[in-house]
Chain A
Amino acid sequence: MTALEFTLVVLALSALAGFLGALTGLGGGVVVVPALTLALGVDLKYAIGASLVSVIATSSGAAAAYVREGFSNIRIGMFLEIATTIGAIVGAFLASRVSTHALAIVFGLILLQAAYMSFKGTPENAERVAPDALAARLRLGGAYPVAGSPQPYGVRRVPAGFVTMFGAGALSGLLGIGSGAVKVIAMDRIMRVPFKVSTTTSNFMIGVTAAASAGLYLKNGYINPQVAMPVMLGVLTGALIGAKLLVHMRVKTLRLVFGVVILALAIEMIVNGIAGKV
């Protein structure tokens, strides 16, 4: 393959990954890494390095659009970023100590979990809760637009959410993904933050989390300019288009479509990891 062909193919794949990732709030990384490794045989370390920078682009590029809709909560995001950034440094350190095959298998398991979440179609926590004592002291609650008028929401179980966010950060640093799925679990499932607030705040947090492992990735040579260039530009373009459509689309349909893609990638990633092909 020539440099031009490689760049164009990666650009197209990445644009699709960014589009799907933005629509689902899960980030482009979970699609772009398996696409690069499985379809093009790119070494996993180059793939996760390129993915890491592209999720920073996705997160930051879409932020302005999300803010305008009035969903994201900067206090929840900033507070939990303490956990995700420390986790990300730990994860990036581990990435340089673990074999590529093991990384591929862990990646596959994360994809399986993402697919499971998509199929299960977790009902949105429509019922709002009163904040518990710690969340009230941290002033984590807020209000989000429902049918044009602001509806207040409370937050609960901050310590459990914080610990889960550390795990999300570690996965982000280990696999070069935004780990938006785990971030959304921590907020939507554990802390009872409304789903749309969770996904948009998660998107906001992904860039900061990924930036915390970028230094180690750069130093270890995972960020290869010729690979990262088309991945970053492609994912960013796809994500900006996806973010514009997000608020108009139904969450349930999105999750089902995404689940099928993710499940196929998960199986292939695990099989290849075990067979030592990735």
Chain B
Amino acid sequence: MDDRRLETIIGRLLRAGVLLAAATVLAGGVLYLARHHGDPVNYHSFVAGGPQTRTFTGIIQWAAHGESAAIIQIGLLLLVLTPVARVAVAVAGFLLERDRLYAVVSLIVLVILVFSLMHAT
């Protein structure tokens, strides 16, 4: 394991995560348009949505009911988790390289990311 190999693995992981997220968002989007394509919309003024689009548990529950907005949010959550997974893989990669300094550096970044996501639930 060297840096170049580690970066290649991470690059592929990121691409896979993004494609999965995009496919989910697309599926939710198609479902949304199939049901609501003719609805008038404007987003001129901000209104914070309900729990079905703002909390992890709300999103998962409503997506299970086939709510298109929640399915889109599942895709967006997958997207947000992709860089988190990237940092986790870097921690493991640097450990395999026996590079303790950068294993710790990556771990600090991972802790910050997990903290911020937990904080928001």
Q: Which residues of the other chain, B, contact A199 by a CB distance below 8 angstroms?
A: none
Q: Are A2 and B43 in contact, with the CB atoms below 8 A?
A: no
Q: Are A233 and B26 in contact, with the CB atoms below 8 A?
A: yes
Once the chains are docked, how many angstroms separate the CA of A85 from the CA of B16?
A: 23
Q: Are A89 and B112 in contact, with the CB atoms below 8 A?
A: yes
Closest Cβ–Cβ distance, residue A31 to chain B (whole Å): 18
Q: Are B41 and A60 in contact, with the CB atoms below 8 A?
A: no
Given A41-B44, A63-B15, the answer on whether A2 and B38 have CB atoms closer than 8 Å is yes
Q: Are B82 and A207 in contact, with the CB atoms below 8 A?
A: yes
Closest Cβ–Cβ distance, residue B116 to chain A (whole Å): 5
Is A211 an interface residue, CB under 8 A from the partner?
A: yes
Within 8 A of B (CB), among A106-163: 138-139, 142
Closest Cβ–Cβ distance, residue A17 to chain B (whole Å): 16
Once the chains are docked, how many angstroms separate the CA of A233 from the CA of B23?
A: 9
Q: Are B11 and A207 in contact, with the CB atoms below 8 A?
A: no
Q: Are B15 and A221 in contact, with the CB atoms below 8 A?
A: no
Within 8 A of A (CB), among B41-56: 41-49, 53-55
Contact flags B83-121 to A (C-beta < 8 A → 1, else 0): 110110010000000000110011011001100111111
Given A2-B39, A63-B10, A85-B109, the answer on whether A57 and B117 have CB atoms closer than 8 Å is no
**Which stretch of A19-27, A73-81, A190-198 is in the interface?**
A73-81
**Which stretch of A181-189, A222-230, A255-263 is in the interface?**
A222-230
Closest Cβ–Cβ distance, residue B50 to chain A (whole Å): 9
Q: How large is the interface on A (under 10, 10 to 19, 20 to 34, 35 or more residues)?
A: 35 or more
* Residue among B38, B73, B82, B87 making CB contact with A56, cutoff 8 Å: B82
Q: Are A229 and B28 in contact, with the CB atoms below 8 A?
A: yes
Is A274 an interface residue, CB under 8 A from the partner?
A: no
* Residue among B11, B12, B32, B53 making CB contact with A223, cutoff 8 Å: B53
Cβ-closest chain B residue relative to A138: B101
Closest Cβ–Cβ distance, residue B77 to chain A (whole Å): 8
Contact flags B16-38 to A (C-beta < 8 A → 1, else 0): 01110110011011001100111
21 A-B residue pairs with Cβ-Cβ distance under 8 Å, sorted by A, are A2-B41, A3-B41, A4-B37, A56-B80, A60-B14, A78-B105, A78-B106, A86-B112, A208-B113, A211-B113, A212-B112, A215-B119, A215-B121, A218-B54, A218-B120, A223-B53, A223-B76, A224-B43, A225-B70, A229-B32, A233-B26
Enumerate the 8 nearest inter-chain pairs by beta-carbon distance, A residue then B residue, closest first. A221-B48, A215-B120, A64-B11, A225-B72, A67-B11, A60-B14, A207-B83, A4-B37
Chain B residues with CB under 8 Å of chain A are 3-4, 6-8, 10-12, 14-15, 17-19, 21-22, 25-26, 28-29, 32-33, 36-49, 53-55, 68-70, 72-73, 76-77, 79-84, 86-87, 90, 101-102, 105-106, 108-109, 112-113, 116-121
Chain A residues with CB under 8 Å of chain B are 1-4, 6-7, 40-46, 53, 56-57, 59-61, 63-68, 70, 72, 74-75, 78-79, 81-82, 85-86, 88-89, 100, 138-139, 142, 207-208, 210-216, 218-221, 223-230, 232-233, 236
